[in-house]
Amino acid sequence: MVIPVHDVNPVRRTPWVTYALIAANVLVFLSTPGMAGSVAGGSDLSQLCHLQAFLDHYAAVPRELIHHQMPQLVPTGAVQAGPGGPTCAAGPPGYDKSAPLSVFTAMFLHGSWIHLLGNMLFLMIFGNNVEDRMGHIRFTLFYVVCGYAAGYGFALLNDDSADPLIGASGAIAGVLGAYLVLYAKARVWVLVPFLLFLPLRLPAWLVLGFWFVLQAFYSSGEGVSDAGTVAYEAHVVGFLVGMLLAWPLKAGTPPPPEPRGLLFGRRARPRHTW
C-alpha cells in the first residue's frame, strides 16, 4: 500500500551490522542456483531442479522443525526422464540436515529479486536506528532471535507443511516491531502507488501499524489469492517478538528530531539529506 523510502531519524554510529546483513543476503541470493539471472527471463528445468535441491537442503521446513520428520527422498538437482517428460530427480539425501540450523540459513534465502529488494529496503530504512539504539552485538542477537521466533512460530501454526520457508522477512518484521516501540513518532517518507506515487511524510506508528494490520489480516487468508505462498504468520510473530524485546529500551530512547503534522506533495520534500 505504501513504499517507505527514508526516515527522518539520524543515527549516532555507523550501522555496520545492518550493512553486513544486507551484503550477506545479496551475496547468498547471487549464489542461489538460477536466481542471479532471474530478471532477464525464466530458468530452464536444470536450473529449477538445482534450485529445488538447494532449497531443500538450506530452507526451513515446518514438518522437519516440529515433528522432526526428515524426508527419505529429496531433490538431487539432476534431471531425469519421466512419464510426462523430463522432471527433477529425487533420491536419498547425501547430507545430514539440522532442522534448527535451517531456520538460520533460511533467513538469508529469497525467492526472487523483488522478495530480496523489498526486504533489504525495510532493513536499510529501519534497521540502522534499531541497531544504533541496541548496539552492534545486541542488535545481532536480537535479529537472530526474531528470525528464529518467526520461523518456529510459523512452523507451529503449519506443522504439517512440507513447503520450504525462506526469507529474512520474519527477522526484519522484528526490526519493524522494535522501531515502532522505540521511534513511534519518527517521520517516514513513503510513496503511495495508488496516488501516482505521491510522496508523504507520515509518522512511523501509522506506517508500521498499518503494515502490521495488513499482515495480520492476510495471515487469516483474507484479501489475498496467494496467501499460501507468503508466510504472513511469520511476519506477525516476528513483529510481536520484536516489540516485546525492545520494550525495556523504550524509556531511555531519545525522541526523533521531527516536527509535528503530516506533510505531502511539494511541502513534503525534505530540506536536508542524510
pLDDT tens by residue, 210-236: 999 999 999 887 655 544 578 999 999
Chain-centroid distance, C-alpha 64: 21
**Residue 75 pairs with which residues in a beta bridge?**
90
Residue 98, Cβ density class (10 Å: 0-12 exposed, 13-18 middle, ≥19 buried): exposed
- Kindly state the percentage of the chain with pLDDT values over 90: 61
Q: Which three cell numbers stand for residue 70?
A: 526428515
Yes or no: say if 263 and 201 are a contact pair by the CB < 8 Å rule: yes
Yes or no: say if 75 and 164 are a contact pair by the CB < 8 Å rule: no
Give the whole-angstrom CA distance, residue 87 versus residue 93.
Answer: 18
Residue 242, Cβ density class (10 Å: 0-12 exposed, 13-18 middle, ≥19 buried): buried
- Phi/psi of residue 58, each to 5°? -110, -15
Give the model's pLDDT for residue 47: 83
Quote the pTM value. 0.87
Q: Which three cell numbers stand for residue 15?
A: 550501522
- Phi/psi of residue 117, each to 5°? -65, -35
User: How many CB atoms sit inside 10 A of residue 158's CB?
Assistant: 19
Alpha helices in 92-157 (DSSP H): 99-106, 113-134, 136-157
Burial 183-202 (b: 16+ CB within 10 A, else e): bbebbbbbeeeeeeeebbbb
pLDDT tens digits, residue range 153-202? 999 999 999 899 999 999 999 999 999 999 999 999 999 887 677 888 99
Average pLDDT on 36-59 reads 76
pLDDT higher than threshold 50 for residue 268: no
SS3 215: helix
Q: Which three cell numbers stand for residue 151?
A: 520461523
Q: Which three cell numbers stand for residue 18?
A: 545492518
Q: Looking at this protein, which amino acid is placed at residue 246?
A: A
pLDDT tens digits, residue range 104-117? 999 999 988 999 99
SS3 54: helix
Q: Residue written as cell 543476503? A: 25
Q: Residue written as cell 525522541? A: 255
DSSP secondary structure of 125-138: HHHHHHHHHH-HHH
What is the longest distance spanned by two Cα atoms in the chain? Answer: 67
Average pLDDT on 113-125 reads 95
Give the model's pLDDT for residue 1: 72
